[in-house]
Amino acid sequence: MKSYLTAKGVFHYVLPSSAPPDQHLIYFPYWRFKGMLFSCLPDRINERFVDVSHQAIGSMHFPFSVGFRSQALKLRFATSDISGRFLTPVLKFEEVVDQFIARFSRDIRAPILHQARIGEAVSIIYAPYYAADDGRLYDAVLNEPAPTTLSETLDLNAFAGGPAPLRIDFLATLCPHCGWDLEGRRDSLVLSCRNCHRAWKARGKRLAELKLAHLPRPPEANIRYLPFWRIAAEVSGVPLKSYADMVRAANLPKVCQPEWEKIGFRFWGPAFKVRPQFYLRLATSVTLSQPVEKLAPQLPPAAFATHPVNLPISEAVDTLKLNIASFLTPRERVVERLPQIEVTPRKYLLVYLPFEERHHEYVHTGMNLAIQKNQLQLAANL
Ligand SMILES: [Zn+2]
């Protein structure tokens, strides 16, 4: 029986230590956010990939961030077999997130109308230190004296702390419906059953069924299915109830048919990671084409390749307002309307859309959309 690693809430990692084995380590906590930051400016949307960290305990004696260490060094889970004292984070992620964003927005020289961040779940990274016999504080990653010295103003015992905080739960991965072995790559948020064609996601220690569908294609087609979140939401500030509303909002060169008023508008966004520049383009293209063909309410047949779901619905929901900002036409309306626009997600469905496999790309001919294969491969590390 396979097992699937899950942990409640935030993942906790440690940086590797090269301290002498007899040293008693203390672990100083940092919040880390890794993902995409979108800033909506009057004339465009600026997007960038960010990987930043910030102290989870405000202290002048420790570096404010772990710098490039989180990318350059091999992180491991903070499991209970790691001895040492783990200092308890004092600041909440919400308290430091504005500082992350401010740091990354400093060089944007235009009014920022709206910002959204999406990407991986937030994590805590512990950096190891120890107090040497000479009374100095040592950075255990480099095994060198830290820039700060131990003194009355820095008493390590004054920080609350204890053993490694993480419990890792192992979730048995048998289909709760039929008992078949579930499939899912390590980074996949969805485990699928090839026997009863249901899909499951971890909710705490249990598996909950995920509602999904696919757009059927004949079995002989050379197809790879890519997962998308389809989201129904209430929008205020701009009329967006129907397909016809969307055609008008985006000023598409189409003549609205009366029946388009009855077709409900849905947001679409990738349920997989891609580079930030591409994420929004993809979300907007699929949203503007509003796939309305009849869906089959289960996973695509096993004969087709499917791309793993590694971008959760909670992240996709954060991009809805950006999605509107990127198609609302003319641009002057964005500046004028965006502050008033509110989007409240109501319902969602995971939908696998068929893309034809070509040499270098996956193509959806109906939507006139191509995704470079290397875009998806590069994104595997995001
Ligand atoms: Zn099953």
Report CA(18)–ligand 1 centroid distance (Å). 46
d(CA 349, CA 297): 10
Q: Where are the domains of the chain?
A: 3-168, 211-379
Q: What is the mean pLDDT of the chain?
A: 85
Q: Which letter, b or e, does each residue of 10-19 get, where b requires 16 or more Cβ atoms within 10 Å of its Cβ?
A: ebbbbbebeb
Residue 115 burial by Cβ neighbours in a 10 Å radius (0-12, 13-18, 19+):
middle
Mean pLDDT of 196-224: 86
Ligand 1 centroid to Cα of residue 171, in Å, is 16
Distance CA 198, CA 316 (A): 22
The mean pLDDT value for 176-201 works out to: 80
Is pLDDT at 37 greater than 70 in this prediction? yes
Mark the residues whose beta carbon lies below 5 A from ion ligand 1. Answer: 175, 177-178, 180, 193, 195-196
Quick one: average pLDDT of 31-59? Answer: 88
pLDDT of residue 1: 32
Distance from the alpha carbon of residue 26 to the mean position of ligand 1, in angstroms: 46
User: What separation in Å is there between the alpha carbon of 173 and the centre of ligand 1?
Assistant: 11
pLDDT at 205 over 60: yes
Copy the structure tokens of residue 267.
Answer: 């947001």
Q: Is 52 helix (H, G, I), strand (E, B) or coil?
A: strand
Per-residue confidence at 7, pLDDT binned at 50, 70, 90?
A: very low
pLDDT recorded at residue 178:
82
d(CA 181, ligand 1 centre) in Å: 8
Confidence of residue 3 (pLDDT cuts 50, 70, 90): very low
Is a pLDDT exceeding 50 seen at residue 246? Answer: yes
Residue 169 has pLDDT above 70, yes or no: no
CA dihedral 327, 349, 37, 64 (to 10 degrees): 170
Q: What mean pLDDT do residues 312-324 have?
A: 89
Q: What percent of the chain has pLDDT over 70?
A: 91
DSSP of 127-149 = EEEEE-TTSEEEETTTTEEEEEE
The encoded tokens of residue 157 equal 């015992």
CA angle 154, 155, 159 (to 5 degrees): 105
Sign of CA dihedral 86, 89, 90, 96: positive
Distance 299 CA to ligand 1 centre (A): 11
Closest to 56 in 3D by CA, of 33, 32, 84, 90? 90
Predicted model pTM? 0.75
Residue where the block lists tokens 């805590």 = 124
- Residue 39 and residue 46 in contact, taking contact as beta carbons nearer than 8 Å: yes
Does the CA dihedral 48-52-56-57 come out positive or negative?
negative
What gap in Å lies between CA 229 and CA 345, rounded to an integer? 12
Q: Which of 241, 237, 227, 210 shows the shortest CA–CA distance to 282?
A: 227
**pLDDT tens string 64-91:** 899 888 888 888 888 778 889 999 999 9
CA of 351 to the centre of ligand 1 (A): 19
CB 102: neighbour CB atoms within 10 A? 9
**Phi/psi of residue 200, each to 5°?**
-135, 150
> Which neighbouring-strand residues pair with 170?
5
183 C-alpha to center of ligand 1: Å?
Answer: 10
User: Quick count: other Cβ atoms within 10 Å of Cβ 331?
Assistant: 12
pLDDT in tens, 48-62: 888 889 999 988 889
